[in-house]
């Protein structure tokens, strides 16, 4: 009898030890999970505090110079209460045309890399060059365009500024387009192909349509980057204190105006620099909100 009970008692002891180990392991896992959650929450709070402090500083210092006169007058010498009309118009023109030039090229390259470039040495080279441009300092792009378009003719122009900004747009759009297309489920491609659709229709009418939201986000990221770029424009469009919308002439822009005015001894110029920074931030924010709202409405339909 005792010999028969001994194995049962040993099994019970083993089960008790196992339950104890499981409870200890569960406690350690819960502790690690709570610690990781706490660290993630702290990181989120720190990021939000940093963003809020930047926005609060821009609003606090820039809102005082925001007026009808600021938006309707051109820049003027220090002390003469000029405005920001020509830098605003110049920035809108250059950013819009650079996006129209660079985004289609980036989208086409991203589609090629995601859909047609698997294992291709040419696609590998394109991806490598795109990644290099994505991480390259913008001042190098400005210097390249200066040597290509400005130095030979010895003349700064809006055309050169647009080309410089377009080069910065392309790698961002290439990366986001390729990544978004790779996220499209293979079953969608197979279903379209099973219905007899040719390859180009599968790509354009199924894959691109499914990834349109992410691709649009990539374009908006590119716009947000080039809207605040200063260094490429200093080498290309340079800036213009007078009213000018001619692309063949030097053209004003908000980032260059901020660069010129921020360290000025004139109080009105410093105020205009803060206001220009606020306008850039507000413009990018409104553009992102509008695009997301439009894409959401499209998805609901």
**pLDDT over threshold 70, residue 259:** yes
The 10s digit of each residue's pLDDT in 244-253 is: 899 999 999 9
The 10s digit of each residue's pLDDT in 81-133 is: 899 999 999 999 999 999 999 999 999 999 999 999 888 899 999 999 999 99
75 and 136 assigned to the same domain: yes
Which residue range(s) make up the domain with 132?
68-300
The DSSP secondary structure of the chain, one letter per residue, reads: -HHHHHHHHHHHHHHHHHHHHHHHHHHHHHHHHHHHHHHHHHHHHHHHHHHHHHHHHHHHHHGGG-SHHHHHS---STTS---SHHHHHHHHHHHHHHHHHHHHHHHHHHHIIIII-TT-HHHHHHHHHHHHHHHS-HHHHHHHHIIIIITTTT---HHHHHHHHHHHHHHHHHHHHHHHHHTS-HHHHHHHHHTT--HHHIIIIIIHHHTHHHHHHHHHHHHHHHHT--HHHHHTT---SS----TTS----HHHHHHHHTT-S-HHHHHHHHHHHHHHHHHHHHHHHHHHHHHHHHHH-
Kindly indicate the confidence band of residue 12, based on its pLDDT and cuts at 50, 70 and 90: low
The 10s digit of each residue's pLDDT in 220-244 is: 989 999 999 999 999 999 999 889 8
Question: Average pLDDT of the chain?
Answer: 89
Section 277-289 average pLDDT: 90
pTM for this model (two decimals)? 0.86
- Which one of 47, 64, 81 terminates a domain? 64
- Which one of 64, 94, 111 terminates a domain? 64
CATH number at residue 259: 1.10.3720.10
127 and 213 assigned to the same domain: yes
29 and 72 assigned to the same domain: no
Q: How many structural domains is the chain composed of?
A: 2
Kindly indicate the confidence band of residue 16, based on its pLDDT and cuts at 50, 70 and 90: low
- Which one of 49, 64, 79 terminates a domain? 64
Residue-level pLDDT at 15: 64
The 10s digit of each residue's pLDDT in 185-195 is: 999 989 998 98
112 and 260 assigned to the same domain: yes
């Amino acid at each position: 009898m005792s010999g028969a009970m001994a194995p049962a008692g040993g099994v019970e002891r083993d089960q008790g030890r196992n339950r104890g180990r499981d409870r200890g392991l569960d406690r350690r896992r819960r502790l690690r999970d709570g610690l990781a959650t706490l660290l993630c929450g702290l990181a989120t709070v720190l990021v939000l505090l940093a963003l809020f402090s930047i926005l609060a500083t821009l609003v606090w210092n820039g809102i005082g110079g925001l007026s009808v006169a600021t938006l309707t007058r051109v820049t003027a010498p220090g002390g003469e209460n000029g405005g920001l009309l020509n830098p605003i118009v110049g920035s809108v023109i250059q950013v819009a045309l650079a996006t129209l030039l660079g985004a289609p090229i980036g989208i086409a390259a991203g589609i090629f890399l995601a859909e047609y470039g698997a294992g291709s040495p040419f696609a590998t080279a394109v991806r490598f060059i795109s990644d290099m441009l994505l991480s390259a300092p913008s001042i190098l792009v400005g210097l390249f365009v200066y040597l290509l378009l400005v130095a030979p003719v010895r003349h700064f122009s809006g055309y050169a500024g647009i080309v410089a900004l377009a080069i910065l747009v392309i790698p961002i759009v290439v990366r986001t387009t390729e990544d978004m297309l790779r996220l499209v489920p293979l079953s969608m491609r197979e279903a379209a192909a099973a219905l007899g659709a040719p390859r180009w229709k599968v790509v354009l009418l199924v894959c691109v349509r499914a990834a349109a939201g992410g691709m649009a986000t990539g374009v908006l990221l590119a716009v947000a980057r080039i809207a605040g770029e200063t260094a490429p424009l200093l080498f290309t469009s340079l800036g213009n204190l007078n009213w000018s919308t001619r692309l063949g002439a030097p053209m004003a822009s908000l980032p260059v105006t901020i660069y010129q005015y921020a360290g000025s001894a004139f109080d009105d110029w410093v105020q205009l620099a803060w206001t220009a920074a606020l306008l850039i931030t507000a413009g990018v924010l409104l553009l992102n909100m509008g695009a997301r709202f439009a894409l959401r409405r499209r998805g609901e339909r």
